[in-house]
Structure 1
Amino acid sequence: MKKTLLVASFLLAGGFAAAQSNVNDLLAAGLNDAERFTNDYLSPVSEGTIFSLSGSWLNTATAKPLGGFEISIVGSMAGFKNKEEKKSFVLNTADYENLRFEDGSTSKSVATALGDIEGVRVVVEDENGFFSESFELPSGLASENINFLPAAYIQVGVGLVKGTEVKARFLPKIQTDDVAVSLFGFGLLHEFTSHIPANRLFPVSISGFIGFTQLNGSYDFTDTNFIDGENQRIDTRISGWSFQAMAATRLPVINFYGGLGYVTGKSDTDVLGTYTVTSGPFQTTYEDPFSINKQASGATATLGTKLKLGFFRLHVDYTLAEFNLLSAGINFGFR
């Protein structure tokens, strides 16, 4: 289960993977209730993934000269261990058509896809109260001791005209029997200090950057048999823009860099396939039942260091944002 959750969290399907055993129960509450709950449940993991994917573009503010290049293997973690407000949400039964708490409460905190609240039971009943069925709401990644959202990719930077560098990042499509994921992105760095006369004598580089990243993921859970139906899967598209102003030292071996930025992005998650509900008061079949959309944005502040030993480089940095991001990379470059 933990392996499934970790892989699925990277796809944003992680929240739904944690809840997949409750698919029949959630849809038994009716389509509107299932969509409302799933939206609130997945919203924080969508937001965290947007910040995770949009970061870690830069490890210097110095643009490479014409023909210079750097190839990097980058990994990052967006942590949420102390983000209690992202690990739960208040479920108010007044917002639902057919759902109530088993203990009679009208509202209480329940787990999001990042959370660890367990044992919360709800009841689904028809409008006349003649038929009811109870089930437990799903918990989230923290209940499996997973407190971060991971990202990893290959990144390339190539120097163009004076002071300008183009960047690209990608993760080749990885596919198993039930999971497929790929990533691509592109960016442009311009070093303003390259226009200063005798800029090589200036010990600090200052630059601006804009970058775009998109993750495409699919999680097929037809074979789990948690609910009758066919072609049951989640398709996810997460994209984010990053805007940064960066400054960095220009020393031979060890350098330090920092900057301020802004991230904005969106995620679109489609629940696809046919789902035949066989319990509860609303037994029916749904086709491509609903989609979940989330937008997120916010300011960022980054501080990091880079070690350069000829062709080989290492860097590590930390970004303060709505979801704080720890990144590290191994780099191979020329000039």
Structure 2
Amino acid sequence: MKKLLTLLLFTLVTTVSKAQNDIDALLAAGVEDAQRFANDYLAPGTNGLMHSMNANWFNSGKAKPLGGFEISVVVNASQIQNENKIFNLNTSDYNNISFSQGSASQSVASVLGENDPPIFVQIQYEDPIFGNQSQTLELPNGIGDGTANLLPTAYIQGALGLSKGIELKARFLPKYDTDEVSVGMYGAGLQVEFTNWLPADKLWPIAISGLVAYTHLDGEYDLTDSSGILGENQRIENVTNTWLFQLIASTKLPVINFYGGLGYLKGTSESDLLGTYRISNGIVTSEPIVDPFSVSSDVATVRGTLGTKLKLGFFRLNAEYHISEFNTYAIGINFGFR
């Protein structure tokens, strides 16, 4: 429940740490095999959250005038498709792992899926006393349907009009700390309205802008009490950085407006398994494995956006939908002036 609660508080760290006990256990098969599995297992989750992190950067193509501002509470959710819940594990790509049953290549759960029925693998390893040994291990499940097939994020965002069609934006997720989890997020963006520079811009029925935005997330999950493997200072650390380049167009009506755009999202998420690990079969303990591995995933994709915004005095409400590798829903409650 604690891990699920952390995910609902919009942390990337929980998806990275969902099955850390089993990924740790794969170290018995060797660092290279454990790293390969962890990379394929985690990538759908980190990629989906990079899409979720970059929704709702804008709700209009019209930049705010000098001194105009808006404060927003934004909630986003990337949609998990069936193809995101699995990946193909081909044992020919591994040194010491084979399936207990079935073919050498099977679809297994990613961090977003669930193995039903359970899937078991055989791990081969060399014992310094007893020679070649094997161990049966159940492959880890992910979050399954535990979050209604959605990857949520949330943050507070502010926007300030500077002048000449330029609007500065900033967003952040307040630092969240427990004994096991630490996570925080921040970002900044610059929106420039091109139609503001044209003659008689007030006569144009639409506003057209360009946006560049950067988002950073970092988190840590302490494995000390849950690893199940001897060692010290065991933890997972994640750093995620994304860039969004977006073209925006919107109507310029007094109450209800519609907006849309075409954008390009690029980002990298890096996760490090850190600390000291000693693999033991109950009799013999291996040499310490220090900072075993790092894994990463990347996104570089085009996305389309459709949205609408309702304005009632200083109160605004917007909703939007992004079409990309991970389709994303977003809503925002906004309070602004001008």
Per-residue deviation at 1:268? 1.0
Q: Are the structure 2 counterparts of residues 6 and 323 from structure 1 closer, same or farther at C-alpha, using a change threshold of 3 Å?
A: farther
Gaps of 5+ in 1: none
Aligned to 1:217: 219
Q: Does residue 91 of the first structure (1) align with residue 94 of the second (2)?
A: no
Q: Report the CA distance between 1:174 and its aligned residue.
A: 1.3
Whole-Å separation in 1 of the counterparts to 2:147 and 2:190: 37
State the distance in 2 between where 1:133 and 1:187 align: 51
Partner of residue 44, structure 1: 44
**What is the percent sequence identity of the aligned residues?**
50
Report how far residue 14 of structure 1 moved.
3.0
8 A Cα contact 2:205 2:251, kept in partner? yes
1:320 aligns with 2:323: yes
Structure 1 pair 109–282 and aligned structure 2 pair: CA distance change class (3 A): farther
Within the alignment, does 1:289 sit opposite 2:292 as a pair? yes
1:100 paired residue number:
98
| Maintained 8 Å contact 1:20/1:226 | no
Partner of 2:142: 140
Provide the C-alpha distance between the structure 2 equivalents of 1:11 and 1:234, rounded to a whole number of angstroms.
Answer: 13
Offset at residue 143 of structure 1 (A): 5.0
Alpha carbons of structure 1 residues 5 and 232: separation in structure 2 relative to 1, 3 Å: farther
Alpha-carbon distance in 1 for matches of 2:72, 2:110? 34
Deviations 1:69-102 (A, max 9, x none): 111111100111xx22221111111111111111
* CA drift at 1:146: 4.3
Aligned to 1:206: 208
Look up the SS of the partner of 1:142 in the other structure: coil
Matched with 1:195 is 197
1:121 aligned partner:
120
Give CA-to-partner distance per residue, 1:90-148, whole Å, 9 cap, x none: 11111111111111521111111111224000011236984111010001111535412
Q: CA deviation at 1:52?
A: 1.4
Does the 8 Å CA contact 1:210/1:241 hold for their aligned counterparts?
yes
Distance 1:233 1:301 in 2: 37
Question: Which is worse superposed, 313-322 or 128-137?
Answer: 128-137
**Cα distance in 2 between the residues matched to 1:240 and 1:154:** 18
The CA distance in 2 between the partners of 1:24 and 1:42, in whole Å, is 14
TM-score, structure 2 as length reference: 0.93
TM-aligned CA distance change 1:271 to 1:8, over 3 Å? farther
Q: Quote the Cα distance in structure 2 between the aligned partners of 1:233 and 1:24.
A: 11
Q: Deviations over 1:28-64 (max 9, x none)?
A: 1111110110011011112111111122201001000
How far does the alpha carbon of each residue in 1:281-330 deviate from its partner, in whole angstroms, 9 at most, with x for none? 98342111111122111011111111111111111101001101100011
Give yes or no for contact 1:215–1:237 (8 Å, CA) kept in 2: yes
Of 304, 307, 332 in structure 2, the residue corresponding to residue 304 of structure 1 is 307
Q: CA deviation at 1:21?
A: 2.9
Distance in 1 between residues matched to 2:147 and 2:168, nearest whole Å: 38
Residue 152 (structure 1) aligns with: 154
TM-align CA RMSD: 1.9
The runs of 5 or more residues in structure 2 that have no matched partner are: none
Partner of 2:335: 332
Q: 1:233 to 1:274 in 2, by over 3 A?
A: same
Give the secondary-structure state (helix, strand or coil) at the position aligned to 2:326. coil
Matches within 5 A, 1:254-293: 254-279=256-281, 283-293=286-296
Partners of 1:114 and 1:291 in 2: CA distance:
20
Say if 1:191 and 1:77 are closer, same or farther in 2 by CA, change over 3 A: same
Contact 2:76 2:330 in 1 (8 A): yes
1:20 maps to 20
Structure 2: distance between partners of 1:187 and 1:143: 33
Shift of 1:181: 1.0
Count of aligned pairs between the two proteins: 332
Q: Which amino acid aligns with 2:294?
A: S
- Of the structure 1 ranges 17-26 and 246-255, higher mean CA displacement relative to structure 2 is found in 17-26
* Aligned residue in 1 for 2:70: 70
Counterpart CA distance in 1 for 2:168 and 2:114 is 42
